[in-house]
C-alpha cells in the first residue's frame, strides 16, 4: 500500500508551469539565470547533444508564468502554460 497523503489546500490551485523539450535543449543556462524565482536548474543526465538539459522544479509553487525563460531561450525549447 502506498502511504495516503493528506490533501492540501494548495493542491486545488492550478499553478503556472513550463514544459521543456529536453532533447532540443543546448544547456546554455540563460533560462536558469533569468528565472526570477529560481525554479529552473540543470538536469543530472546528459541528452543526445551531450549537454545537461534544464529541469523545471517548482516544489514551493513559486512559478508565476512570467515567461522570461521562454523569451530568453534561443532554441524555443520552453512552452509556458498559465
Footprint on this chain of another protein (rule: CB under 8 A): 14, 16-17, 24, 26-30, 33-34, 51, 65, 67-68, 70-76, 78-82
Q: Residue 17 or 41: which CB sits closer to another protein? A: 17
- Using a 10 angstrom Cβ sphere, with 0-12 exposed, 13-18 middle and 19 or more buried, the burial of residue 4 is exposed
CB of 19 to another protein, least distance (A): 9
CB 19 within 8 A of CB 78: yes
CB of 38 to another protein, least distance (A): 14
Amino acid at each position: 500500500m502506498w502511504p495516503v497523503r493528506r490533501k492540501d489546500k494548495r493542491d486545488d490551485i492550478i499553478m503556472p508551469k513550463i514544459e521543456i523539450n529536453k532533447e532540443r535543449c543546448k544547456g546554455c543556462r540563460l533560462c536558469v539565470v533569468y528565472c526570477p524565482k529560481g525554479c529552473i536548474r540543470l538536469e543530472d543526465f546528459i541528452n543526445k547533444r551531450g549537454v545537461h538539459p534544464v529541469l523545471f522544479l517548482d516544489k514551493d509553487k513559486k512559478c508565476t508564468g512570467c515567461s522570461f525563460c521562454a523569451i530568453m531561450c534561443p532554441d524555443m525549447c520552453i512552452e509556458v502554460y498559465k
